[in-house]
Structure 1
């Protein structure tokens, strides 16, 4: 992502590295080779104890009230350790929505969960598999005896098996709305798919009755808050990818310094030096793009300024595109340089590539983000 440029960011970066070095066991990531999830609720609660889940919540709501750049410090650190827990989807996005929308008793369990980590929430917003923006939702809420009936489908729900509540985006009386749905609600059918890094992505089909008091918010503010949460999540994912790519390159360079062939360390081979230099350049460009995007995020000040909004979102698209390419290139170079051990479950190189693959696909791949950048800057038609 960036070098921390204030005392808080530097303290966060140091604390995150110390915590993850001691608390995160990379061995658990190998569960994916046995077709098992690598996500750990106990580790999630440990992250809550660090204050990370509530980092973006306003101080008035019991959070730290820190800036997006501070959250980026954490996501980059998570990337450096290939942490599979859906921190962005299940902490940063719910926190962004909670901070932007009016208070409601329905938020209570979600709020407590961001403080202590015992209640996990995720967001169901994606109307079709390729969606990257908060367009018209694929779920409709209609009045029904005793509450509302939700019908429809949402794609790309991240972290659903570990979630206790799902924030469901729906069209209600012609207006955007957000509802809290307990994970085990009757009438919800889940198709959970194990991702390549041991996380999960799910499709949600609903035909259910929800009480009226599960309504979190309704109206144009919901669409604006959801779009802002998605923009921030995309940028944080880019920063996490930079961390993943940086760690993959560091792991590979260490191997190049020690592995010998033909009586020489393989790091002395010019072809591998050139490949390593290419990866380092791409990661530096991705870091710069993330920094530029973070600097273009003026928060509430951009409300009503369509040009500033488009420029900020274009910068995010550029950062995600570069970060996807750089992290995947670093992961593939690691596999290539490690040779056979790079493909083996016992090797660590593949763990970082798997993490990069999953994060690159989420919220828009590099080609999708480049297309989006062109539309936002007027270079391409929508």
Structure 2
């Protein structure tokens, strides 16, 4: 039985030190000003910062010690995720570090994982998961992409994936495909000429792509995992990514509200600070209340996930957390832009960065409406078996 997990435990020195270290690092190494490149239609993702995050040990937080990682718990990853949200950092920790690390921890006996796990330790190699094919489904087992086994021992990959996070930032794509009628996972070089990426910038300066594979040749060394365990591992990894995304949204929401409250205390209109206006006070309370509910939901989800990962109860709690955190972050961002007035839309105003980040992370792996439906499913509210 796993011990109960409290975030942030005032008695847990590791948690306190990690939180303070992440805060200090991001305060020094990350500047919101770089996000202004968004207004020029450019990605803001920074491989230098990614390597520095690897040096801090964040990319390998969930990697087992046997693979060189820290083997810390989801609660520690949640601490990092919340601080990334508080600083509106767009670098894809969840998609390009947490998810690969969780999969590597299950299938590391395959030699093809070596460059991927080494990249989590030093930032030298970035991988991103390419698994989704239908925008209406987040079921990792819904796959039509296939790998054909040739008589000479080679393999050919064909198909298409959507929602590939930060594809051009990555060196490798971790692609799910059908092989011999079962699910498999492959490492595919992003620069292969038969791999086509059609990429779009996201609201916060990252990117999302549609990846197409036109008879991409693969070798047996590219095979990372095969069999029924692949679907189970993907589902479990996506559960944790959802939980951490909720914590990142909580960080976004809290920082956005702090920025807005500071503005309300200093901005003067009609001879008064606008924070003294009753309408602004009521809206601030609404935003604060939603944040408190979101944080409580994330705390509950973290505990349930630690006690019984992959259970219906844990998945229901994670769905609740993601829905509430998404709503809270969007509410905080929109209220902040509204309170700032016209300047809230300007590149110079930091509050806009938080709304843009909230728009992406609220949609990541399903928006609030999707996860309210998922909660009904996992909590058996429709009378079906969980």
The normalised TM-score by structure 1 is 0.96
Asked whether 1:143 is paired with 2:145, we answer: no
Deviations 1:57-104 (A, max 9, x none): 111111101000100000000000000001100000000000122412
Of 92, 99, 114, 1:86 maps to 92
Tell whether 2:136 aligns with 1:134.
no
* One of 336, 339, 349 as aligned partner of 1:337: 339
The alpha-carbon deviation at position 141 of structure 1 amounts to 1.1
Structure 1 residue 176 corresponds to structure 2 residue 178: no
Q: Find the partner of 2:217 among 199, 209, 223.
A: 209
Task: State the distance in 1 between where 2:54 and 2:380 align.
Answer: 42
Deviation of 1:152 (Å): 1.0
Measured after TM superposition, the shift of residue 133 of structure 1 is: 2.8
Q: Which moved more, 1:130-139 or 1:14-23?
A: 130-139
In structure 2, distance between residues paired with 1:169 and 1:43 = 29
Match of 1:375 among 366, 374, 377: 377
Matched, 1:115 2:118: no
Q: Of 62, 68, 71, which residue of structure 2 is paired with 1:65?
A: 71
Q: 1:56 aligns with which of 57, 62, 70?
A: 62
1:347 to 336, 349, 352: 349
Whether the 8 Å contact between 1:138 and 1:154 is mirrored in structure 2 is no
1:196 correspondence with 2:203? yes
What are the superposed Cα offsets for residues 38-71 of structure 1, whole Å, 9 maximum, x if unpaired?
Answer: 1100000010010000011111111101000100
Secondary structure of the structure 2 residue equivalent to 1:296: helix
Offset at 1:16? 0.4
Name whichever of 1-10 and 138-147 sits farther off: 1-10
Return 180-189 or 253-262, whichever deviates more.
Answer: 180-189
Greater shift after overlay, 76-85 or 99-108? 99-108
Instruction: Provide structure 1 residue ranges, at least 5 long, that are not aligned to the other structure.
Output: 303-307
Determine the structure 2 residue equivalent to 1:124.
130
Check the 8 A contact 1:98/1:107 in 2, yes or no.
Answer: yes
Partner of 1:3: 8
| Whole-Å separation in 1 of the counterparts to 2:243 and 2:234 | 14
User: Stretches of 4+ moved more than 3 A in 1?
Assistant: none
Q: How does 1:1-382 map to 2 (within 5 A)?
A: 2-5=7-10, 6-144=12-150, 145-207=152-214, 208-298=216-306, 309-380=311-382
CA–CA distance in structure 2, aligned partners of residues 134 and 259 of structure 1: 49
Distance 2:358 2:7 in 1: 18
Whole-Å Cα distance in 2 between the matches of residues 41 and 233 of structure 1? Answer: 21
Structure-1 separation of matches of 2:72 and 2:23:
19
User: Deviation at 1:4?
Assistant: 4.1
Q: Tell which deviates more after alignment, 252-261 or 178-187.
A: 178-187
Any unmatched runs of 5+ in structure 2?
A: 1-5
SS in 2 for 1:324: helix
Displacement of 1:136 in angstroms is 2.3
CA contact (8 A) 1:126 1:138 kept: no
Q: Equivalents in 2 of 1:225, 1:349: separation in Å?
A: 37
Equivalent residue for 1:305? none
TM-score normalised according to structure 2 size: 0.95
1:335-364 CA-to-partner distances (Å, cap 9, x unmatched) read 000001001111111100000000011100
